[in-house]
A = this chain, B = another copy of it.
Amino acid sequence: MVKYKEKSASETEERILEAAKHEFMRFGIEGTSIQQIADAACINKSLVHYYFRTKEKLFKRIFIEAFSSFISHVEDIINRDISFQKKIEQIIESYIDLLKNNSYLPGFIIHEVNRNPDRLFELIQNANIKPQKIINQISIEIEKGKIRKVDPRHFFINVLALCIFPFIARPLLQRIFFNNNEKNYMKFIDERKKEITEFIIQSIKS
């Protein structure tokens, strides 16, 4: 008689996942060896194969999770029952918070998507991304005269750009503007929430 398995992933399994995430995020799939992951997890190399079969499978697991956390956030807020302006504020606030805790997330996704665009194909269908929703909401605000006439797609991309870019370009910006001082850069990022919000609100005043 077989008991209910998988009641919880074994500790080693989770250690591997965490180590893999850490390494993949920084160095990409090509820049990360299984040995490297094993070392980071303080386990034997073969265990990685024991739990995840192949590097590709392990990578996919990490990638899908990362990708989901990257886009589901926005989807979530868009569906909330609050004013348009509040939505903008919350998207900015929560997106920046997410990225503060996952600095490498956007760069990771972008690199891997560039390296192998096919990966997206399957993923986007599963993820069921519907940008139309946010686009429509913006259009409605324009019709109501609440904001000036802007292309909703451009506007949406602008919001994303302003939030995400400082993290993607962090090594550069931190060094150039803050003498590579991490704390100061993070303070700057926090200020940014207010700054971006004002910037955007001002830019769409009708």
Residues of A within 8 A of B (CB): 26-28, 30-31, 104, 107, 109-111, 113-115, 117, 120, 124, 129, 131, 148, 150-151, 153-154, 157-158, 160-162, 164-166, 168-169, 171-173, 175-177, 188, 191-192, 195-196, 199-200, 202-205
Q: Which of B30, B124, B148 contacts A30 (CB 8 A)?
A: B30
Q: How far apart are the CA atoms of A195 and B150 in the complex, in Å? A: 8
Q: How far apart are the CA atoms of A117 and B180 in the complex, in Å? A: 11
Which B residue's beta carbon lies closest to that of A104?
B114
Measured between beta carbons, the chain B residues less than 8 angstroms from A104 are: 114
A124 with B176, Cβ < 8 A, contacts A28-B31, A160-B165 known = yes
Measured between beta carbons, the chain B residues less than 8 angstroms from A158 are: 162, 196, 199
Give the copy number. Answer: 2
A27 with B26, Cβ < 8 A, contacts A192-B154, A195-B150 known = no
Whether the Cβ atoms of B157 and A166 lie closer than 8 Å is yes
User: What's the nearest-Cβ distance from chain B to residue A2, in Å?
Assistant: 42
Q: Which of B110, B153, B202 contacts A203 (CB 8 A)?
A: B202
User: What's the nearest-Cβ distance from chain B to residue A45, in Å?
Assistant: 19
Measured between beta carbons, the chain B residues less than 8 angstroms from A188 are: 153
Q: How far apart are the CA atoms of A158 and B192 in the complex, in Å? A: 10
User: What's the nearest-Cβ distance from chain B to residue A103, in Å?
Assistant: 9
